[in-house]
Structure 1
Amino acid sequence: MQTIQERASELVRKMTLEEKAAQLSSAWLEINEDGTFSVKETSFSDTRPQQLKESVLGIGIGQITRPYGTQAKNPRSIAKGINEIQRYLVQNTRLGIPAMLHEECLTGAMVVGSTIFPASLNTASTWDIDLMERIGRAIGKELSSLGVHQGLAPVLDVARDARWGRTEETFGEDPYLVGNMGIAYVNGLQGTDCSPIATLKHFLGHSFSEGGRNHAPVHMGERELLNTFALPFEMVVKGANAGSVMPAYHDIDGQPCSSSHHLLSDILRKQWGFKGIVVADYEAPAQLLNDHKVAADLAQAAAMAVQAGMDLELPSGTTFKQGLVQAVNKGYLAIEDLDAAVLRVLHEKFRLGLFENPYIDSEGILLNSKESHSLAVEAATKSLVLLKNDGLLPLHPKGKIAVIGPLANHPKAMYNGYSAPIHLQGSKGSENTIPKNAKTIKSAIEEAAPEATILYEPGCMLYENKIERAVFFPGDVIEDDSKPKAELSTNTSRIEKAVEVALQADTVVLVVGDMVGLFQTGTVGEGSDVSSLTLPGVQQQLLEAILETGKPVVVVLVSGRPYDLQFANEKASSILATWLCGEGGGEAIANVLFAKANPSGKTPLSFPRCAGSLPYAYNHTPKAGGFPRQREYGALFPFGFGLSYTQFSYENCMVDRQEITTQGEVRISATIANTGMVAGDEIVQLYIHDAVASIVRPVKELKGFARISLQPGEKSEVTFVLPSDMLSFVVDGIQRIVEPGTFEIMIGKSCEEIVWRQEIFVTGTVRTLEKDWKFKTPILVKRL
């Protein structure tokens, strides 16, 4: 029997140049149930004629782009149309090669009727690796039932600038936390058989763009790039066998990521041993010609991308399908380089079993089960971060409660940008994109407190006019159009009514924050970058007016980024940060407000004091604040911070030794006790600081964390087994080393609330780490 590699190699030998180029291309189709389709070019075209299969698929195709996530249609209907397209590819093309299908899946399959889990900021706020893996597994099952072979997630960008619209897609600002969450997501999604495959993005440094602007250049040296931004990718490539990687749009020091042989081949494949496929972010190869201006024509752009290490162009494949043929004929690209990419794509198709089973069981599609919805509620509940509480929370479930704010009863208020309610608005189809079990915050409060009198008033609107059409991808955006696609409301006339309602109530729940929309159709999301951290629209005026009433107010911040909460921190009784908590968000918020659940999230992002202190992260270098230190520099609420309805004590903190070698390990232990009156979860955090190093090192670095559940009076011993490898860094752009010297070990409730610290000494000579170095700190938890 032939191996997969032998089957793929044999097929490559039979292919024409044009067929090879087609396998490295994709088709973005709006598919009808009978298999007819139109090709998506721009979401602003009202009429797109149906096209013949022969002209689009006649010589085969590598992938079909987002067949479900392009239209608000019944997925079973779309699946039947996909089967007809696969049947055509198998029966009517010369080589009969089926197409792979890819979909967005950051918070769930971006499909009508799927489960919508909380945003990545939420799952990072849980610090719960097992929970993240269970979510990944649930998403993978839904994708598999849809016949999808590749999911375009997770995002492993390390957040640095809250103005950046895609902050909401990240796991936060710490590379170790991002890497651990990424490993868990990928292990869950891909399962033991690596199907469907995950896609790590955006490789590399995408989150540190000029001014937090989408696609803008990135300026950093090789050491910072590898020690901070590459670390999560390296961890997930090595720790979870991720199937795919997506290069970022930007350039680094003049070199676009999509044409960087250094990133895609030298580092990703050679140094880290990545074996999967590299796929383009949408239209990235064309941007080498049209935006970056480093290619003279499509042929050169396609050649540069493939030579760098890219295998497949998404979404439409025009640059590769046309340009690669020209590139080989003009001598820009060696046929051996083209064949290597085709071989990787075909190897994946054989491994995934496409040739044996190219069709979808449309009746077997299973979306949004009761179990998945319960998981979404659990994740949302565990992710809520209580930033302030002077005793107002939990609320009493009786009396008069005013629910105020433009997001309090908005059906789309708690969803990530890559979810059906946000992404499919205005698309073809008439299916409802809101999950059937979802509740707004207002309706969830009404259910949780049936004996209370609920008074409701929005107070203002974020947008007066409905966004009729979603913007899907960069090709939908006019380059020089600086006018926002949606204008924020400036109408303050409703604020007076909201104040009247607040004055009638015993307590106020004020819900403010973001409405997600891509490319300036919302206040946060891809391409929806900002220059200020003031609440969008007139929400700040609403906030101040309600807080000035003197009523007890809990501010519920529903957002995709941290905002300036200094006034709220001074005046509000309580502040609850919910991020974008998905279809279970309403239930989760109500459960925490009324003590049906204890808040346990810890923020994966610092809340900067103002936009002027950006970029900011807790793990900055010693001189990052300037000299003299900029007064605004720092965090109002630090990384790792979050309150509870109970209290935890830390006792018996110790190390088992104060001296280790550069090949040793140290055990750091602490006893955690719940000293309060209710059950709760605590997140124990381990930080280190390299006292003296050969290059500038951060003031603190997270190197371990453990989430533990404790009943009142209960205790657990947490032990971190810290290997010396975890003290390492990349020193010269290539070598990762462990240096001897003094290290400070810290245990904290947050990066700022350090409860214990101890110096240890690393002895011996400088050690260069091998490829398979230890990048995780094992955790031992013993109930006492």
Structure 2
Amino acid sequence: MAHLYQDASQPVATRVADLLARMTPEEKFAQMHAFWLILDSGGNHKERSDLSDDFAGHKETLALEKQLASGAGQITRPLGTHVVSPEEGVRALNRLQKTLVEETRLGIPAMFHEECLVGLLCKDATLFPSSLSYASTWDPELMEKVAAAIREEAQSIGCHQGLAPVLDVSRDVRWGRTEETFGEDPYLVGIMATAYVRGLQGEKRDLLATLKHYVGHSFSEGARNHAPVHLGFRELNDTFLLPFEMAVKLANAGSVMPAYHDIDGQPCHSDHFLLTEVLREQWGFDGLIVADYGGVSLLHQHHGVSHDDAESAALAFNAGLDIELPKGDCAQHLAKAVSRGLINMAKIDEIVARILTEKFRLGLFEQPYAPESQPNMQQSAVRELAWEAAVRSITLLENNGILPLKPAPDQKIAVIGPTADDPLALLSGYSFPVHLIISEMEAHTGQVTTPLQALRSAYGEQNIRYAKGCHILEKRTAGAPVFPGDAGKPMQSSPVSLDTAQIADAVKLARESDVALVFVGDLAGLFQSGTVGEGSDTDSLQLPGVQQQLLEQVVATGKPTIVIMTGGRPYSLGGLEEKVAGFLMAFAPGQEGGRAIADVLSGKEAPSGRLVVSVPISAGAMPYYYNHKLKSGGTPIAFHFGAKYPFGYGLSGTTFRYHDLQLNQQPIPIENGEITVQIQVTNTGSRAGSEVVQVYLRDCVASLVRPVHELKAFQRVKLDAGETATLNFSIPTDMLNFTNAAHKRIVEPGVFDVQVGASSADIRASGKVTLAGDVLELPRNWRMVSRCEMNQ
């Protein structure tokens, strides 16, 4: 070997030290940022101009060849940036890697990252359901399988890091990024995120998952994108930090991404306390902290806490950041920051050592190139997994007995609504076809089965008739402004369609049919290219556009009407919930979503999803979440407060009885104790079905105000008609903790209500337990997860 760092038999730390000692400052700075390029297999790579250029006011300044000569930390979305076949994309990124490995002084390979929240974000990859759908299955094992399938597709195109999962805890469904969350309960979010990380990273952590958005991003002012967050550390820790802590400690997450907002005036990208003291020192995180796109430059462009690029870079890297994404807007000015004394080379060396450690650990120096065999996309087993995730997430909210709607001869079914035959209506914002809208590109959606297509297959072409009824957006376009209307930019007008011309034809079709299936919801799209998604927030829970008028007129025909809602947030039906014959919530079910919806409607599959976000009575209840404080509703409780369909709610095709609750002997020791909850559940209906048994606890008297109750355990169970299962839950006493004034997690002695039920508002059995002992301050590795053993 020419140099010690090139010897794979040497310990990683030895290789890092040797390579670091050989690097110039410019080569070190190059490792601390990415390049966002349109790659070419012939080596004619070009820089990508992007929304972030306008967003953060930046353009590249140095010639690409000169910059690459010093190396590169990462390459941003080599296949996800434009429409390129996986085969050609792999050849192009290998060509760039060859330049870095064979034509630079030290031959340091780059890492490649892609988005992968709902499947790998590139051409031909499998389009999975949204995170809301993932969580609605209440099935962590299924989540791990989905993430493992995404991992296989990602690794087949040379991806080293995936920018997922999202661990934001939903607090206000008007927020456009609600669709990316696992819901409103921090424990459920933590469990699902931990399963996702395990599946994506594999046993060797040879593909890095990225936890985002760290932290509190979902509790912004007015549920507006990037808006400030007002939280004390106690609530921040108990609700928003908890899922991150679980994924770091339980799944060894390899990367974390800070959020765009500020908390009490402190931007997350420059928050040393959160990025270093909490994440690294208290939790023991040993991976990479990567910036959200443009987040470093926003320190001076938007937040106004620094003067220029160099100072912003120094603030972020001193706080704990390792790599600026998607480009080097600020990192390219690190030499200036060093010369001005804003950051020192010792800190640079510390950061670069972490980056090199991951590159050596991932084996990039030994295997820098991606395999150029056929990329592993759209395998039949993976499509079936996408279908399973979709079908098990669909949640039945109303049923007057009409469902399942069995196929029958001469049955006339009207399929109505703007989302019934739109492939994009089944996809979330971070799916490849939708994501391309902001780049004014079109992607192939032939792999998507729409509900109309699936219904024609299930019920017969002759029995299905279709009328769109209205538009949500008449044209999907990019270029929406991303600046606030009162901050020196023009006020905005909504692009949502108000055209009612097609409603009459749809109503006529419904009147001439036996039953009407009305598909409503929204369209995902970034920065107002849709009605939900990043930068596509709302001020209302009314259906976008004239969908409510369409639905009202169809219901007024008197024909049985079944509503199927898809999209990224729940909407109100304006009182029609009590008048419709059936109501299904499907969120964004992905490419197999149409087939999954048809299977549930027809009875081929029983509905089994459960809500992970409450459906508030009105927007006036916002922010709303089931685990609120008692006084959240006001005094007296406001008429608009509450949820029509609460967290955990969902109907089945059968009924269940909960009985014979048993709790363990009292008192239970605080230290190393466990609450044991035994409950029997019997299927009292005439058909098989699934139930999600949920255990909530309430701290009856505490030294600080506590939520009305909190989810601490759950278990999905499938029972045949008449079958009984005995579920034995074990809940560590550590899980009853909350954060005190000293920022420590503590458990207090006292009495706790134990509530077992079918939702947060449907408690079927309850009792009390008493914890005895002194106030316990939890150690670093406290017990975070409950268990369930089931006997059938």
Normalising by the smaller structure, the TM-score range is over 0.9
SS of structure 1 residue aligned to 2:449: coil
1:494 aligned partner: 502
Contact 2:476 2:529 in 1 (8 A): no
The letter of the residue matching 1:68 is: L
Residue 95 of structure 1: CA displacement?
A: 1.0
Q: Does residue 744 in structure 1 map to residue 756 in structure 2?
A: no
Q: Which of the residues 405, 413, 418 maps onto 1:401?
A: 413
Equivalent position of 1:415 in the other structure = 427
CA contact (8 A) 1:485 1:520 kept: no
Query: Displacement of 1:484 after TM fit?
Result: 5.2
Cross-structure match for 2:463: 453
The 10-residue stretch of structure 1 (666-675 or 402-411) with the greater mean CA deviation from structure 2? 666-675
**Are residues 1:344 and 2:354 paired?**
yes
The answer to whether the 8 Å contact 1:37/1:51 transfers is no
Is 2:737 the counterpart of 1:728?
Answer: yes
Aligned with 2:632: secondary structure? coil
Worse-matched range after superposition: 147-156 or 653-662: 653-662
Aligned-residue identity in percent: 48
Q: Is the 8 A contact 2:428 2:567 kept in 1?
A: no
Secondary structure, aligned partner of 1:578: strand
Structure 1 residues 544-555: aligned runs within 5 Å = 544-555=552-563
Aligned counterparts of 2:35 and 2:712: Cα–Cα separation in 1: 43
Q: CA 1:479–1:192 in structure 2 vs 1: closer, same or farther (change >3 Å)?
A: farther
Aligned counterpart for 2:249 among listed residues 238, 256, 261: 238
2:599 is the counterpart of 1:591:
yes
State whether structure 2 residue 127 is matched by structure 1 residue 113: no
TM-score, with normalisation over the residues of structure 1?
0.96
Report which stretch shifted further, 483-492 or 107-116. Answer: 483-492
Structure 1 Cα separation of the partners of residues 489 and 326 of structure 2: 23
Q: Is the 8 A contact 1:658 1:759 kept in 2?
A: no
Give the residue type in structure 1 aligned to 2:82. Q
Listed one character per residue, the Cα deviations across residues 94-113 of structure 1 (whole Å, up to 9, x for unaligned) are 11111100000000000110
Conserved in 2, the CA contact under 8 Å of 1:558 and 1:580? Answer: yes
Deviations 1:398-441 (A, max 9, x none): 300000000101121110101111012374877x43252x2100
Distance 1:475 1:617, change over 3 A: closer
2:714 corresponds to: 705
| Residue 715 (structure 1) aligned with residue 712 (structure 2) | no
| 2:725 partner letter | S
CA deviation after TM superposition for structure 1 residue 474, in Å: 6.8
**Matched residue type, 1:720:** F
Specify the code of the residue in structure 1 equivalent to 2:322.
Answer: D
Return the offset for 1:734: 2.0
What are the within-5 Å matches in structure 2 for residues 379-398 of structure 1? Answer: 379-398=389-408
Matched, 1:533 2:541: yes
Aligned in 2, Cα 1:768/1:776: closer, same or farther, shift over 3 Å? same
| CA gap 1:81/1:670 in 2 versus in 1, 3 angstroms | same
Deviations for 1:66-105, whole angstroms, at most 9, x for unmatched residues? 1111111112111111111000001111111111000000
SS for the counterpart of 2:377 is coil
Following superposition of structure 1 onto structure 2, how do residues 667-686 of structure 1 map, counting pairs within 5 Å?
A: 667-686=676-695
**Matched residue, 2:102:** 91
Cα distance between partner residues in 2 of 1:537 and 1:775: 44
- Structure 1 alignment gaps of length 5 or more: none
Q: Which residue of 1 aligns with 2:648?
A: 640
**CA 1:480–1:65 in 2, change beyond 3 Å: closer, same or farther?**
farther
> 1:720, 1:780 within 8 Å by CA — same for their partners in 2?
yes
Report which stretch shifted further, 559-568 or 736-745.
Answer: 559-568
What one-letter code is carried by the residue in structure 1 that aligns with 2:750?
Answer: G
Tell me what 1:325 maps to.
Answer: 335
Listed as ranges, the gaps of 5+ residues in structure 2 are 1-8
User: Would you say the 8 A contact 1:397–1:451 is kept in 2?
Assistant: no
Aligned pairs for 1:26-37 within 5 A: 26-37=34-45
CA positional deviation for 1:5: 1.6
Q: 1:522 is matched with which residue?
A: 530
2:628 is aligned to 620
Quick one: which of 1, 10, 14 aligns to 1:2? Answer: 10
For the residues of structure 1 that align with 2:60 and 2:233, how far apart are their CA atoms? 48
CA separation in 2, counterparts of 1:464 and 1:335?
54
Q: Is the 8 A contact 2:524 2:530 kept in 1?
A: yes
Question: 1:585 and 1:481 mapped to 2: Cα distance?
Answer: 39
In 2: Cα distance, 1:193 partner to 1:67 partner: 24
**Is the CA contact (8 Å cut-off) linking 2:214 and 2:259 kept in structure 1?**
yes
8 A contact 1:26–1:63 mirrored in 2: yes
Rounded Cα–Cα distance in structure 2 between residues aligned with 1:305 and 1:51 = 22
Query: How far off its partner does 1:56 sit?
Result: 3.4
1:631-682 Cα distance to aligned partner (Å, 9 max, x none): 1000000000000111111121111223201121121011112222222111
Contact map agreement 2:406 2:603 (CA 8 A) in 1: no
What SS does structure 2 have at the residue aligned with 1:576? strand
* Alpha-carbon distance change, 226 to 332 in structure 1, aligned in 2, over 3 angstroms: same
Amino acid at match of 2:351: A
Is 1:136 equivalent to 2:147 in the alignment? yes
**1:51 Cα deviation from its structure 2 partner:** 9.5
Distance 1:134 1:474, change over 3 A: farther
For 1:226, the aligned partner's letter is: N
CA distance in 2, matches of 1:633, 1:129: 31
Is residue 125–residue 383 contact of structure 1 (8 Å, CA) maintained in 2?
Answer: yes
Aligned-pair CA distance for 1:35 = 2.6
SS for the counterpart of 1:122 is: helix
Counterpart of 1:577 in structure 2 is 585
1:159-182 alpha-carbon deviations (Å, 9 max, x no partner): 001110000000000000000000
Instruction: Give, in whole Å, the separation in 2 of the partners of 1:451 and 1:710.
Output: 35
Match of 1:425 among 437, 447, 451: 437
Matches within 5 A, 1:21-100: 21-42=29-50, 53-100=64-111
Alpha carbons of structure 1 residues 413 and 470: separation in structure 2 relative to 1, 3 Å: farther
Number of matched residues?
777
Counterpart in the other structure of 2:25:
17
Give the 3 Å change call, closer, same or farther, for CA 485–93 of structure 1 in structure 2: farther
Within the candidate set 346, 358, 375, 2:368 is matched to: 358
In the other structure, the counterpart of 1:258 is 269
Pick closer, same or farther for the CA change 1:633–1:413 going to 2, 3 Å: same
- Contact conserved, 2:734 with 2:782, CA < 8 A, in 1? yes
CA 1:179 to 1:282, structure 2 compared with 1: closer, same or farther past 3 Å? same
Aligned ranges 1:114-513 → 2 under 5 Å: 114-322=125-333, 324-398=334-408, 399-425=411-437, 427=439, 432-434=443-445, 436=447, 438-450=448-460, 453-467=463-477, 469=478, 480-481=488-489, 487-513=495-521
SS of the residue 2:426 aligns to = coil
| 2:767 equivalent in structure 1 | 758
What's the offset of the Cα at 1:42? 2.3
Distance 1:685 1:495, change over 3 A: same
Q: For 1:498 and 1:159, how far apart are their aligned partners in 2?
A: 35
CA contact (8 A) 2:52 2:294 kept: no
Distance (Å, rounded) in 2 between the aligned partners of 1:589 and 1:60: 49
CA distance in 2: counterparts of 1:325 and 1:649, whole angstroms: 68
Q: Distance in 2 between matches of 1:419 and 1:237?
A: 26
CA 1:220 to 1:292, structure 2 compared with 1: closer, same or farther past 3 Å? same
Aligned residue identity for 2:285: F
User: How much has 1:362 moved relative to structure 2?
Assistant: 2.2
**Secondary structure in structure 2 of the residue aligned to 1:363:** coil
**For residues 446 and 167 of structure 2, what CA distance do their matches in structure 1 show?**
27
1:763–1:253 CA distance, 2 compared to 1 (3 A): same
